[in-house]
Chains A and B, each alone.
Chain A
């Protein structure tokens, strides 16, 4: 384990050691994977001391969340009022307090498995991530960052410093739904996040974004065909039914030890409908089932 003195020391170390290095934040996911011999690294590099990356800020119409912000600190942040209850949706089903207190936003994104809860939320928020190395900082979209199961665009000499997305305005809301095996500490069989921008006067869907932890096989992504089917139409239960038909044809899910493909196909529309109803409620609209 290498424990850097400060950020500069860390980036210099990463520049010099370009292989066999594994970054560790607070370890709630990584330690498990190490015990299962799924991590192949000679040296762990400890990020947990970099408290400068534990923050939630509002900045010129953007929300900036530091990579080392814990899920607990994220939902307790006064910056994220009730408009951002989507993060409380996530935390409520993320794990018990002993996990929520240590798991970090950056860790959840960088773990990049098909079961991370923040990824679908940040995908519908069109989030970007900032990656820093000794040579400077680059900003890419989360979609570009995710390269497949446990694969990211993070280079060996880089660390993730923050994720950034546009503030939600009065017409927009966001929600998250998840299903797993246990209520207190679940790894998602499936999860789903919806972003909705609604013209409150005409009830027209100005914009909608929908993401699941699996859309194609085990890859978290947006369900874009379903989004297109809903955009510009009036929000009604009939539209939701049309969207569900589209979603069912768009998803190509697979089975694993957590659940079968068939179960996932059945449960996806339910999660989508629940998340959408919650989005509408957060905008003061009632969708009658």
Chain B
């Protein structure tokens, strides 16, 4: 088992830690940095629940070996909004009841935020495309699409 020095940036903060070869990005985020917002779902890349942004692109953190995230910028749900000041997406997800059990929500919010960063006025089809690959077993997705659409309008007003 070999060890590596992993230097990377998580939510704007630089980190340097020693990781083992078998550790996944998901393990490092949750167990080493205590960022429990990122959830583990299937661990095989099928459900998309563990998604985070790596250099601005959505990736499944269960399918990234930690050392492969060296020199990358990672964004997790912890960087989106604060409990005092929610992100418009978070506000709209609550308003539209788009979060039921909540397990897929960190990934859904990150995927939607990434979409809105690039396309401030997405079509419903674009919202579906951006969030496809993330499985939600509660909502049936319609409330989520409504929430993302509403958040896009909200963000344009600001």
Contact = CB atoms under 8 A, between A and B. Distances in A.
A46 B66 CA distance: 12
Given A32-B63, A96-B133, A98-B134, 4 more contacts: A28-B63, A35-B43, A101-B59, A184-B133
B20 to A, nearest CB: 9
Contacts of A72: 57
Interface in B131-158: 131-134
Interface string B44-61: 111010010000011110
Nearest to A28: B63
A237 interface: no
A27 B132 CA distance: 20
Interface residues of B, number: 28
* Chain B interface main SS type: mixed
Contacts of B58: 96-98, 101
B4 interface: yes
B123 interface: no
B130 interface: yes
A102 interface: yes
Contacts of B46: 185
B64 interface: yes
Given A44-B21, A97-B133, A101-B58, A32 B67 contact: no
Given A31-B65, A32-B45, A48-B68, A99 B2 contact: no
B61 to A, nearest CB: 9
Interface in A12-58: 24, 26-28, 31-32, 35, 44, 46, 48-49
Given A3-B67, A46-B67, A96-B48, A101 B57 contact: yes
B29 to A, nearest CB: 15
A96 B68 contact: no
B111 interface: yes
B2 A1 contact: yes
24 contacts: A1-B2, A3-B4, A24-B68, A26-B63, A26-B64, A26-B68, A27-B64, A27-B68, A31-B62, A32-B44, A32-B63, A35-B44, A46-B68, A49-B70, A97-B57, A97-B111, A97-B130, A98-B58, A98-B133, A99-B45, A99-B60, A101-B57, A102-B59, A185-B46
A2 B2 contact: yes
B65 A24 contact: yes
Interface string B83-109: 000000000000000000000000000
Contacts of B51: 98
A2 B43 CA distance: 23
Nearest to B20: A1
A95 interface: yes
A49 B67 CA distance: 11
